[in-house]
Amino acid sequence: MRLQAAKQMKTPNVNKPSEALPHNKVYTRLKPSKIHGVGVFSICAIPKGTSIFPDDDAPIVWVKKSKIKSVRGEIRRLYEDFCIIKDNGETYGCPANFSLMTTAWFLNEPKADQQPNVSCHEDYTFYALRDITVGEELTVDYATFSEKPPVRTRQ
């Protein structure tokens, strides 16, 4: 039975030269970070000026703080830990769904004595500030695109 079903399925046409493979223009992966939790690490050399996540065109959803005022606990921490903060803390820029966060949402800030190796354009696209070596953690100054998060209180 399984053999018949397998024969009926079309064999995908792999290795077409004109088709992009899933790893094309992928420069990073997620790994445990010595800076904080999970971080973004280079899997190949990234030249200065390179757009780090060129195909990340996932929408940013802007949510007013008033809409989430009753949200508590770990759900609230998603907003505090991952969102872009604007309008004196009144607006949060979020992924369309927290389960759909792309790699860019996991960029950490550098340690206090280090400089970031990534920056952000006004349209929230990230680029390399300098040549980045294989295995290096990518870091960004959050102030280039977000206000400081609120001081966390017990909820």
Indicate the pLDDT class of residue 155, thresholds 50, 70 and 90: very low
Compute and round to an integer the Cα radius of gyration of the chain: 19
Domain 25-144 CATH (choose: 2.90.10.10, 3.30.460.20, 3.20.20.70, 2.170.270.10): 2.170.270.10
Q: What pLDDT sits at residue 15?
A: 55
Q: In this predicted model, which residue has the larger pLDDT, 84 or 14? A: 84
Residue 60 has pLDDT above 70, yes or no: yes
pLDDT in tens, 122-131: 999 999 999 9
Cβ contacts of residue 61 below 8 Å, gap of 6+?
93, 94, 95, 96
Query: Where do we find the tokens 């102030």?
Result: 143
